[in-house]
A and B are shown apart, each in its own frame.
Chain A
Amino acid sequence: MEGLQTIRPELLSISPEQLSALRPYFIIFGGTILAMILSVVRWMNPKWPLFILVLATLFAGIVDSFRLVPEAPLTLFNAMMISDGYSHLFNIVFMASAFFTVMASFRYLDREKLQYPEYYLLILFAVLGMMLMVSAQDLIVVFIALELMSLAVYTLVGFRRADRRSNEAAMKYFILGSAASAVFLYGSALLYGSTGTTGIKEILSFIQTHPTSMTPVYTLGAWLVILGFLFKVAAVPFHMWMPDVYEGAPTPITGFMTTGLKAAAFATLIRLLTSVGYGKGLSITLQAHLHDILWVSAVLTMILGNVVALTQTNLKRMLAYSSIAHTGYLIVGIIAGSGNEMGYGPVVMYLIAYAAMNLGAFIILTVLSSRDDSGLGLHDLSGLSRRHPWLAFGLAVFMFSMAGVPPTAGFAAKYVLFYSAVQANEIPLVIISVLCSAISVYYYLRVMVYMYMRDPSGSPSVNRIPVWSTLGIAAMVFLTLQLGLMPGKVVLAAKKVASSL
């Protein structure tokens, strides 16, 4: 009963500003519920209405979040959540990623005879999980949101029920992902044990006021919390699951994972890092340890991702390893985050650019793949520029962007990111990074070689390109070039939202 008395009644009511800040979450949640109802109606085929509803929900959420990005931070639910520019900017990334994934999936599901309403529902649930996770201010909320997101994605990965690779991927992902969640939860418990709170801000302020409580138990807890998320972002040595999962998952879902899920994991990782006191000058030991762990992990991630990607002949698998490599660059940005004046802004910017180009690439792969997600070998791309000049052009833009060649988003993002690392005095790390990205150019260019410089082999199939995918690809090409040529606004926005951390 004592506990109840401490709850102040004003914390149980929601003020109009808070309600307004929560609107994107309500939109997505409401859309999900509506979609759920719609998917069980018997008197009509829910395919089209559902598709429109999901797109409309996501679109409304994106528009609403744009409104919220410049607003001042606002704590919600007894400081369990926060509504700030950082979370809303990422919410836009998640929702946009889901929006275009849904667009790309529509005809894909028809073709694969997988047109079930649950697919869209799961995507919406995953988005909701991501949105909650990035705005969470409490380790317990992070955990719940993480599970909401992960469970939805585990199911999506195994959505091709009749396909053994898809089943294997889902199983692998589920078991390893659960283990990582457990590690994260254990770390949270240790942090709670040594600080008496699970609030992200509270942990930091407790440590700041009680430096002596930074015991080995606390340090271990901090490590485990970070390691749980290093698993989610597939940093070496926690990357083993990723290539298999990416290859086995339905192609649009792979695109969704590389963009939405990755952004969500990184966004939360940054929040957690700041919460355990990284970059706050609290304890030199903790700082140095975390720094060294991240440093080694970044270097290994970049080298392994890029070198293994060199030998891949399946596009999906190649992009999976390239995704690992990009994780490495992002960790470089995180290492630099505490020592440069843009803070974690470059990481935010990179995640946005990466989302744009990778989503585009995976929409193209979805279009190109033939039945059962096959036909994605490099050889199948031979002479693509003759069959589908515009698709080839789009893929070329995305490949150049991933390789970091100007004037594309990938270059602008890499520029800002590595610049911040130089400013943080991580010059050897930057040199390793740029050399790794030089390696990466080889396998990205190889795609170009097949598309443009080889003649079509065998019986080239000309796929019909669904109009929804065309829209998605065009939007992503535009965004990739736009971010590359006029990065100013995004750089500024990223810097601003990151400064509130």
Chain B
Amino acid sequence: MEWLESHLITTTVFLPLLWATAGLLIPVSSQGGKTFLKTWIFFGSLVTFALSVWMFQQYSPSGPEFQLSESIEWLPQLGISYSVGLDGISLWLIMLTTFLMPIAILGSFNAVDMRLREYYFLLLSLETGMLGAFISLDLFLFYIFWEAMLIPMYFLIGIWGGKDRIYAAMKFFLFTLVGSLLMLVAIFYLAYQHKVQFGNYSMLVTDLYRLKLLGAGFFSPQGLLFLAFAVAFAIKVPLFPLHTWLPDAHVQAPTAGSVILAAVLLKMGGYGFMRFAFPLFPEAVATYQIPFMVLGTIAIIYGAAVAMVQPDIKKLVAYSSVSHMGYVVLGLFSLNSLAATGAYYQMLNHGVSTGALFLLVGMIYERRHTREISEYGGITKVMPWFAVIFMIVTLSSIALPGTNGFIGEFMILLGAWRANQTLTVIAALGVILGAVYMLWMFQRVMFGPITNKENEKLKDLSFREIAVLTPLVVSIFVMGFFPNYFFSRTQPSIERFLSRSGAKSQTTAVATVTLEPFNQIKGN
């Protein structure tokens, strides 16, 4: 038990992988074996979640920056170590990952029937990769997890995906890899600079934060290094114009894959900005602030506009991700506490509500084997439960007050206003467009007479499906009404992130004041 307590992070990260490896031994020739395997895997993801809850309880926001840390030498000649630790930024992203994993697994119980063992093995090893990337404090370790994560996702899309799965899988892999490789060159340069400036090798982020790198121009060393990191993360976010892999990957991926991809993998980009790109290159961030805010705004509007004309529900949701993640970029680059907190919150929101949307789309796809909006209509009458949950999630996605989406987008826009008013006005249009495409889709799918005979006998949600969706619906409201519960745990880390990223201290002070209304929500 003591060992477990002192190695809590490592256990949580590697448990899924070991659990899944054990799962490979389960024979699946019979129906009973299949059920046993599914239960085994589901149970494993629950245990991981339980461990992460334990981790969550151990974390204290007022404590040192990185908690529950572990550090073992790995490749001392190059200053590489296995160093992990938990701070307020990784905290909620880890919770999001472990929370969504059982949901995604339970949600795809019946969706996959081919090569089950490999499927679940890849899903859980993907979880190990994601958790590992969120807790790495060593740049090398982070890079390993970041890249290794691609392998399971590549196979998940490529083997269990839709018709164009191979194309989508290849595109996904290549896009991400090209970005990462440029980042790798920047990592080499940083490691070398640390040796030059401090005389020893180290790849610890906390050590690398101290580096002084030349220049503030677009193409100064710092600017180029920032760009190398930023492109890698922007591809993952994905930021316009590097987003084109996303619709393909999402549409082709199996439901669980889409859920994980949208809910967690995209957050990897935002997390990368917060952990690495911003604090390492503060001057370059100031230089590139406006260009990236412009791109974020374009992503918001462009994603929403393209989503509006999609005939395919899944593709619509995929483009809505582009739009929502545009807010994250806009918020982060506004460089003040309000917007950064909002951007962080928006990442969690997007994980919950887009995850739920993909699950819902998957559920209706299992019934009708089509995702064309025109094939549906009047679904409310045959599937009332489905309609209710779909409605809630839709409203959360368009940021209705009372749901989680509202808090995030509102804070981002408030914060961005301080940074650049023109862009904020344009970005705010995205909120309206978001309502347009979501509600229009909802109306065409749900309301009106049942135009298609095949839809008349659709079964409503089963008990399992409701059980899958309930936690998500609950968290939509919890996050909408009690945001401070979340903020209070991340705020110190976000302030640290901002001070390192060269945000002006004055802005921070203003932002603290404006946070007051939110504090009062929970206040009494």
Q: What residues make up the interface of A, taking CB atoms closer than 8 Å to B?
A: 342, 400, 405-407, 411, 415-416, 418-419, 422-423, 427, 430-431, 434-435, 437-438, 441-442, 445, 448-449, 452-453, 486-488, 491-492, 495
Cβ–Cβ < 8 Å partners of A423 in chain B = 188, 192, 195
Measured CB to CB, the closest approach of chain B to A481, in angstroms, equals 12
Q: Are A438 and B174 within 8 A (Cβ)?
A: yes
Most buried by A among B144, B150, B178: B144
Q: Are B77 and A427 within 8 A (Cβ)?
A: no
Q: Are A449 and B75 within 8 A (Cβ)?
A: no
A-B contact pairs, 11 of them (CB 8 A): A405-B151, A406-B144, A411-B144, A419-B191, A430-B188, A434-B181, A434-B184, A442-B174, A445-B170, A449-B169, A453-B158
Q: Are A488 and B192 within 8 A (Cβ)?
A: no
**Do most interface residues of chain B lie in helix, strand or loop, or is the interface mixed?**
helix
For B183, the closest partner residue in chain A by CB is A434
Most buried by B among A342, A449, A486, A495: A449
Measured CB to CB, the closest approach of chain B to A40, in angstroms, equals 50
In whole angstroms, how far apart are the Cα atoms of A493 and B28 in the complex?
Answer: 45
Cβ–Cβ < 8 Å partners of A422 in chain B = 185, 188-189, 192
Q: Are B178 and A491 within 8 A (Cβ)?
A: no
Q: Are A419 and B188 within 8 A (Cβ)?
A: yes
Given contacts A416-B78, A438-B174, A449-B166, 17 further A-B contacts (CB under 8 A): A342-B77, A405-B147, A406-B148, A411-B144, A415-B140, A418-B184, A419-B78, A419-B188, A422-B188, A427-B185, A427-B189, A430-B185, A431-B185, A442-B170, A445-B154, A448-B158, A449-B170
Does B159 sit within 8 A of A, measured CB to CB? yes
For A412, the closest partner residue in chain B by CB is B75
Cβ–Cβ < 8 Å partners of B154 in chain A = 445, 448
In whole angstroms, how far apart are the Cα atoms of A452 and B170 in the complex?
Answer: 13
In whole angstroms, how far apart are the Cα atoms of A411 and B185 in the complex?
Answer: 13
Q: Are B166 and A453 within 8 A (Cβ)?
A: yes
Q: Are A435 and B144 within 8 A (Cβ)?
A: no
Measured CB to CB, the closest approach of chain B to A86, in angstroms, equals 18
In whole angstroms, how far apart are the Cα atoms of A437 and B147 in the complex?
Answer: 14
Q: Are A406 and B174 within 8 A (Cβ)?
A: no
In whole angstroms, how far apart are the Cα atoms of A431 and B185 in the complex?
Answer: 7
Q: Are A487 and B75 within 8 A (Cβ)?
A: yes
In whole angstroms, how far apart are the Cα atoms of A437 and B184 in the complex?
Answer: 12
Cβ–Cβ < 8 Å partners of A488 in chain B = 74-77
Does B49 sit within 8 A of A, measured CB to CB? no
Cβ–Cβ < 8 Å partners of B182 in chain A = 431, 434
Does B288 sit within 8 A of A, measured CB to CB? no
Q: Are B181 and A435 within 8 A (Cβ)?
A: yes
Instruction: Write the B151-177 contact mask toward A (1 if CB under 8 angstroms, else 0).
Output: 100110011000001100110011001
In whole angstroms, how far apart are the Cα atoms of A488 and B72 in the complex?
Answer: 13
Cβ–Cβ < 8 Å partners of B148 in chain A = 405-407
Cβ–Cβ < 8 Å partners of B159 in chain A = 452-453
User: Which residue in A405, A437, A452 is a CB contact (below 8 Å) of B155?
Assistant: A452
Q: Are A406 and B143 within 8 A (Cβ)?
A: yes
Cβ–Cβ < 8 Å partners of A452 in chain B = 155, 158-159
The 9 closest A-B pairs by CB, nearest first: A422-B188, A434-B181, A406-B144, A453-B158, A419-B188, A438-B178, A488-B75, A406-B147, A423-B192
In whole angstroms, how far apart are the Cα atoms of A423 and B158 in the complex?
Answer: 38
Q: Are A491 and B77 within 8 A (Cβ)?
A: yes
Q: Are A449 and B181 within 8 A (Cβ)?
A: no
In whole angstroms, how far apart are the Cα atoms of A422 and B192 in the complex?
Answer: 8
In whole angstroms, how far apart are the Cα atoms of A418 and B140 in the complex?
Answer: 14
Cβ–Cβ < 8 Å partners of A435 in chain B = 178, 181
Given A418-B184, A422-B192, answer yes or no on A438-B177 (Cβ-Cβ < 8 Å). yes
Measured CB to CB, the closest approach of chain A to B61, in angstroms, equals 33
Most buried by A among B78, B173, B181: B181
In whole angstroms, how far apart are the Cα atoms of A453 and B169 in the complex?
Answer: 10
Q: Are A400 and B75 within 8 A (Cβ)?
A: no
Cβ–Cβ < 8 Å partners of A445 in chain B = 154, 170, 173
